[in-house]
Structure formats: structure tokens, C-alpha cells
Structure 1
Amino acid sequence: MKQIDSEFSLEAVPQSHRNGFWKTLVVMLGLTFFSASMWSGGELGQGLTFIQFMGIVLVGNLVLGLYTGALAYMAAKTGLSTHLLARYAFGEKGSYLSSFLLAFTQIGWFGVGTAMFAVPVQKVTGIDIYVLIAVAGMLMTFTAFFGMKALAVISFIAVPLISILGSTSAWKATESLGGIQGLLDYQPAEAISLAAALTICIGSFISAGTLTPDFTRFARRKRSAVISTVIAFFIGNTLMFLFGAIGSIATGLADISEVMFMQNLIIPAIIVLGLNIWTTNDNALYASGLGLSNITKLPKHKIVVINGVIGTVAAMWLYNNFVGFLTLLGSALPPIGAIILADFFILNRGNYQAFKTMKFKSFNWVAILAWASGIAAATFLPGIPPINALIGSAVIHVAVTKLVAQFSEKEVMITNKEKVSNT
């Protein structure tokens, strides 16, 4: 008897396995409770006034909310993951490029996150760092193995605790500044430009946001998927930035765990750090499993175990050598989401043929060209790189696809005329 893949790695999620609004919301909040966002918030906090900071965070989260909300709508309507949606735009084998990039970066960040937990905890507890890495990696892999149900459980526990403990830290930091007025009066020693600040705000999460369909495909209704995603960004991402910024303004440190150590909140710091990284890493490992499932055609849960072992074994090496490369590689991911969106909403007017009846072409070279153009736009054009990547890749994909279609139609018309004249 064939075993059913409860995560639907290679097919659309049926309505009978969809979730309601609250479960979707808590999973998306777990995704947006992202440790890198706290560091980014700390960086922004030291380079902006608090009013400027709030303006940047709201604008940045609006952009991210629109981007991820549109992806969430697609996922809920089709029941498909990012990797299966990519087949429509990139072709079946063409989608392997996006799946590999997404999976590779998520395995890398899983390893980095595991080491990020182990390093400060080792300093406080004296426990061997490799023991901490092994235990943390094993636990995170274990929960990711069980898929969406385990992600929801972890998020239900983690999200409230991180919110409470992070708020406590922010309140203590605000008190040390002399209250709300002291926070509002803060002037940065070295200001950063608003364009650079917006780049940090959007860029810190847009790569992970590209994986939104992996989680919202389980939403029962399109409206629930979109609303839960947008709320998650305006609550989850904003809180992460706020915790990082307020702590950084008060102490000069961007990492909330270090801020809590200074505030004599050692146990809460370890809990916050552990839960924050756990939710982030579980989502990363889950998404990496879906990506390699698209390539290998193996069930996601088997690949999750392999990816978890690789990420755990390589954690310290990734932490010491690979963060810069992973950040650079992350710039290649937003164009994938933009091409998927443009292909669905503009070229196909919001409707795709059912996945199980679709005959995909092997490669769509137009999408590959648009992807490369998006990376070039982010790298070389002035402005805000993540937005350049989104707009550049989408415009090229739509424009070149329409030009190719027009050229093909003319060729067909010429061929038909020649046939008529020869008869």
C-alpha cells in the first residue's frame, strides 16, 4: 500500500488537509520571529532617530507584506509550495535552479542558527559547544521532520514567550534611557541614509519571505492566508526590529541575547535565543526539504533528516566562514518570487491550470534570463537593491515573454501564408 505524503511535497494540498486562520497565523508569526531581524533592528537603531526608525520599519514591512501577501494568495489558491509554483514560470527542470538556491541557503542558515545558539550559551554555561550544537541540531531536526503540525506547536509556545521576554527587555532598556522621551530624544552618533536603512529592513527578510507559499499553501481560505501573512509582518517583524533597536540604543549591542545578559536576564536570554532560533531553523529546514524534494522526488521528511545532519555537522564552519556568502546568495532569491508573481498575476491573469493535469516544459529560458536580470538590477542600478531586483525581474519576464509570443505568432502566420501560396 502506497504511503501518503502528509506534507504534500510534490502535489497540491487538498482542502481536507487545510488549516484555519489561527493556525496559519501562528505558523507565519513563527516564520517572522527571525533572529536576523533583531540584529538588523539593532543596526538601524544605532543609525536613525527613533521616529525615522519607526517610519522605515512600517514602510519596509508594507513592501514585505505586499510581496509575501501576494505569494500567500497564490499558495492558498493553488495549494502549491514555492518550488511547485516555480515549475509554471521556470519549467520543471528550470525550477530546480530556484529549488537548489532556496534549499542551499536554508540549510546554510540552519547551520549558522544552530551555532548562533550554541556560542553564547557555551559562554554562560561552560557546556562544550559541540555538545550544544549536536543537541540543538537534533531537536530542531526532530520537530521539522514532523512538518506543519510540529511547526504550529513550536510556534504556539515560542511566539508568546519571545513577545513577553523581548518586551520585558525593551521595557528595561527604555527605563535606562529615561523613559519614552529618552528614546524619542535619541540622536545617532553616525547616521545612515534612509535608502540604506530601507534596504536593510527589506533585505533582512525578503529572501525568507520568498518561501511564504511553503507554509500558506495549508491555509483553508485565500483571505486567511493573506491576512495572516500581512499581520505576521506587521507584528512579528516589527517586534523583532523593535527589540533589537531599543536594546541597541540603550546598550550599543544589536544582539538581544547579549542585551539581556547585560540586563541580568540570563535565563530569559537563553530561552528567547533558543526559541527564536528554533522557529527560524525549523522553517528553514522544512523549506529546504521541500526544495530538494522537488529535485529528487523523495518525500520531504526524509530529506529534512539529511539536511538537518548536514547543517548540524557543518554548523561551526558555516558560522565562521559562510555568513557573508549566504547573505550574498540571498540576493538571488527575491527575483524568483517576483517572476512567480508576474507569471501568475500578469501573464496568466491569476489562474493556473491544475498542477496534476499540467504538462510543464523542461526549461523556460525567458524566466532564467529575467532571474539573472533581477540580480543585475539589484547589483548595478541605483536605488534600493531588493526593490530593484523585484521590479527588474518581473518587468523582464513579462516583456520578453510577450515579445517571444508575438514573434511566434508572426512565424506561424508567415508559415500558414506560405502553405496557402504553395497549394
Structure 2
Amino acid sequence: MSGEATKAAAPGGEYEYAFEAVPDSERTSGLSLFMVLAGYPIAVSNFVTGAAIGFRMTFIDAVIAMLTADAFLIFIAVSTGLIAFKTGLSTSFLSRIAFGRRGSTIFSLLLVLSSAVWVGINGDTFASMVAVNFPWWPLPTAATSAAIILLWSISAMRGYRGLEIVSWIGVPIATAMAVICFVMVGMSNNGYGAVLAYAPDPANTMSFTEASASIVGSWVFGCLITPDAARFARSRKGVVGAGTSASFLGLFCLQFVGCVVAQIAVDPDFSAATAALGLGGVVLVCTFVCLCTTQDNNIYGAGLAMQNILAETPLAGKVRHCWIALSITVAAAIFAACGALSFLLPVIQFLSVLLAPVPALIIAEYCFVKNSKAGIGFNPVALVCWLAGGAVGQLCLMANFFVSPVVAFAFTLVLYTVLSKAFDKRVLAGR
């Protein structure tokens, strides 16, 4: 289906503007954008990552690793967010400028698969927490996980406005819970003095490269889909201000709390550490709220990615956003219920090394090459650079060299710019 036909068949609101730029009438305030963007990284995984790193490093070393990695993540979120603000396009459709129409479906498929798997994992995890904390709970774990996943789909099915409503409720609650954890930690044992004096077990330490790579790897997927929300911004200042502050709150602040909790309790397991400090109930409530504000974003982003895939089929512009979001939710619930996630997760973890180079391709094309490939079917230069960047990142991680995702990003950006300048005429000639 041609682009014009697709637009004609797909009224923006019903399809969450998947096939076109978000119109000015639907753009929203910086505060609204902040709440939605903050709701996504306010996630349990950032508590967990902070705890795992804090247990294996001194307090100062852990803070340096977190600040370094988070600065890179914020750069990705704001940079791609600004491009989305300018173009009005979602992450998946934005990737067309580098990969081409059909080439972008490979990346979109990875987004859909990653989202479905992580939604399923989090649903299964929370259901297990409910079973442990409430022995009287009547539903089996599989049914509980399916129910909670379907609950997350309600806001995702309503689109950006649904995400906004949940974030206005969840962000203040989750932030308050994090503050409570931090304050209560200071009142326990030797307080914050124990944190400053903490020394990890020499046999179980983590290097700066490993720590920073773990932080980036745990949230680069989230930064990649920042454009899905940032395209609704009214101004550049809104993107920069909301993107920076929301990411800092959701990433560094939560990781910092996780780090402090682990060092006070001397336990890398965030759930166990908080339980040992008498914070089990607070964390359970915080976990529920964090999951609600995060997983609906995953479902929403996967829905937009699926629209990009369908755009190259006869179903282009014929399936509404709400039905795609629901189908992705059902798939995630099935994965969680049947235990297939234990087989899919290693695959997603392996593919995650390929995520850091993707924003480099988009930024390089938009800012330096400036010769969009959205009009062609497939751009082989983008695929070569994507794979090469992932390989370089993996080698840096194995060699314990600097921040491996940063190296992969810089390498990909330079390589794509150089190769595009050399081969663009030939690539575009094949359109």
C-alpha cells in the first residue's frame, strides 16, 4: 500500500498517528511529557540494577559508573526525542530514514519481541511476589500473571493519553516510595555511614566497564523508544527539559536507592535486601506501581512497531492501535503462563548488544548524512554498520575497555556517516 493510501485508510487518532506525524493539535505540554517519560524509567529493574552494582563496588565507584552510563542514556533519549519532535514520527517509523522501509521491519520485529518478552517476565515476576507474600491468594501464578498483564494493556490501548493518566497516578506514588526506602535505610543499622565505609568482597567485585555496560544494557531499549512519546512535544525545550529530568529521576535516583539498600543490607538481591530492612510491604506496593507505569509503555511501543511491520503488508492501515496492543498483551500473557520466557530471554539478551548502535544510525542519518532512506526498500549500509557496531561493543565488553555501548555508538555513527557518503548514490539508485 502506498504512503498516501495508508494515510487515507488510517485516521491518526485510531492508529495513534503510527503512519504520519503527530499534528500540532495533539501536541502536549512539557509537564505532561515529563510525567509520561518519567513513568517509563521508574521501573523495578533500575532498583535491581543499582543493587547489583552497589553490592560489588565501593559507593563512590558505583556512583561514578551510574552517572557515566546514565549520562549516555539521557543523551540517547534527548537526541532521538528531538528528532521525533521535529518529524513527529515514532521510533519504528523513524528508523526508516536509516534502514529503509523494509529494512526497518527487522528492527521493529526486535522491538515487538523484546517488549512482549519483558512484559511477560515482569508479569510472571510480580505474580510470584504475590504468591510469596500472600499465601492465601486463590489464583495460580499463571492466572495472576495473565490478569496483571491484561491490566497493563488498558492504558496502552488508549494510547498516549492512557499512558499520561497512569503516569500522573504512578509517578508521585513510586517517587514517594523510593524516598521512604532511602530515609528508612538511613535510620537502620549504622545508617549512611555504613554506605560510605562499604567495601565489597574482593572475590566478587565489578569493573567500571562491566558496571556501566550493565546499566546501559538494562535501559538502552527504553531510551530507544523515547521518540514514541517525545513526538507529542510542543517544543524543543520541552523535550530537553522533560527528557533530561525524567530520565535522571527514573534512572539515577532509583539506581542510587538500590545501591544504598544493597550496601546497608550487604545483599545484592534488592527484594531480599529490602525485606531484611523491614521494607517488604513498601517495596511490593512500589513494584506494582512501577510495573504499571513501565509495562504499558512497552506495550504501546510494541504496538507502534507492529504498525511499521504491517505497513509493508496488505493489512497496512486496517488494524487499529487498540487491537494491536491487545494482541501483544495476549502474546505476553501466554508466554508468561506457559514458561516459554525461560527460552526466549537468552535470545533477547544476546540481541540486546545490537541495540546501542541503532540510535547512532538514526542520529548519523538525520544530522550528518541527511539523505533519508525512507523512500527505498532496504539500505545494506545500515545493516552492515549495525552488525559491526554490535560486534565492536561486544569486543570492548570482553576486553573490559571503557564503556562498551558508548564505543559501539561512536563507532557506528562514524562508520555509517563515512560509508553513506561513499555509497549513497549507489544505494539510492536501487530504489
TM-score by structure 1 length?
Answer: 0.90
TM-fit CA distance, 1:255: 4.6
Aligned to 1:133: 145
Which residue of 9, 12, 31 maps to 1:5?
Answer: 12
Determine if contact 2:27/2:232 at 8 Å carries over to the other structure.
Answer: yes
Aligned to 2:381: 366
The answer to whether structure 1 residue 203 and structure 2 residue 210 are counterparts is no
Aligned to 1:300: 321
Q: Distance in 1 between matches of 2:297 and 2:341?
A: 19
Structure 1 residues without counterparts, runs of 5 or longer: 353-357, 412-423
Q: Distance in 2 between matches of 1:224 and 1:369?
A: 35
Q: Distance in 2 between matches of 1:396 and 1:267?
A: 50
For residues 214-273 of structure 1, what are the alpha-carbon distances to aligned partners after superposition, in whole Å with 9 as ceiling and x for unaligned? 111111112211221111122211122012111211224445444343333443222111
**Stretch of structure 1 that moved more, 33-42 or 249-258:** 249-258
Q: Distance in 1 between matches of 2:198 and 2:92?
A: 45
The answer to whether structure 1 residue 108 and structure 2 residue 117 are counterparts is yes
Aligned to 1:191: 205
For residues 161-203 of structure 1, what are the alpha-carbon distances to aligned partners after superposition, in whole Å with 9 as ceiling and x for unaligned? 1111122122222332412222111111133211222212222
TM-fit CA distance, 1:405: 4.1
**Stretch of structure 1 that moved more, 116-125 or 321-330:** 321-330
Q: Distance in 1 between matches of 2:392 and 2:293?
A: 32
Aligned to 2:363: 341
Aligned to 1:416: none
Cα separation, partners in 2 of 1:103 and 1:266, compared to 1, 3 Å: same
Aligned to 2:351: 329
TM-fit CA distance, 1:319: 4.5
Partner of 2:225, secondary structure, is coil
Which residue of 323, 328, 332 maps to 1:311?
Answer: 332
TM-fit CA distance, 1:274: 0.9
Partner of 1:249, secondary structure, is helix
Aligned to 2:96: 87
For residues 266-289 of structure 1, what are the alpha-carbon distances to aligned partners after superposition, in whole Å with 9 as ceiling and x for unaligned? 432221111111222111111111
The answer to whether structure 1 residue 147 and structure 2 residue 159 are counterparts is yes
Q: Distance in 1 between matches of 2:333 and 2:213?
A: 30
The answer to whether structure 1 residue 31 and structure 2 residue 50 are counterparts is no
Determine if contact 1:114/1:137 at 8 Å carries over to the other structure.
Answer: yes
Q: Distance in 1 between matches of 2:141 and 2:98?
A: 44
Q: Distance in 2 between matches of 1:294 and 1:322?
A: 23
Determine if contact 1:91/1:363 at 8 Å carries over to the other structure.
Answer: yes
Which residue of 293, 296, 299 maps to 1:279?
Answer: 293
Equivalent residue letter for 1:309: V
Determine if contact 1:374/1:393 at 8 Å carries over to the other structure.
Answer: yes
Rg bigger for which structure?
A: 1
Equivalent residue letter for 2:177: L
Cα separation, partners in 2 of 1:405 and 1:169, compared to 1, 3 Å: closer
Q: Distance in 2 between matches of 1:181 and 1:161?
A: 28
Which residue of 155, 173, 176 maps to 1:161?
Answer: 173
Matches within 5 A, 1:378-393: 378-381=393-396, 382=399, 383=401, 384-393=403-412
Q: Distance in 2 between matches of 1:196 and 1:260?
A: 24
Q: Distance in 1 between matches of 2:379 and 2:9?
A: 33
TM-fit CA distance, 1:151: 0.8
Structure 2 residues without counterparts, runs of 5 or longer: 1-7, 311-315
Aligned to 1:402: 421
Determine if contact 2:52/2:269 at 8 Å carries over to the other structure.
Answer: no
**Stretch of structure 1 that moved more, 183-192 or 262-271:** 262-271
Matches within 5 A, 1:226-305: 226-296=240-310, 297=316, 298-305=319-326
Cα separation, partners in 2 of 1:171 and 1:360, compared to 1, 3 Å: same
Matched length: 403
TM-fit CA distance, 1:303: 0.9
Determine if contact 2:92/2:308 at 8 Å carries over to the other structure.
Answer: yes
Equivalent residue letter for 1:393: T
Q: Distance in 1 between matches of 2:12 and 2:424?
A: 38
Determine if contact 2:99/2:374 at 8 Å carries over to the other structure.
Answer: no
For residues 320-367 of structure 1, what are the alpha-carbon distances to aligned partners after superposition, in whole Å with 9 as ceiling and x for unaligned? 333333222222222221101110011119xx7xxxxx9711111111
Q: Distance in 2 between matches of 1:270 and 1:295?
A: 37
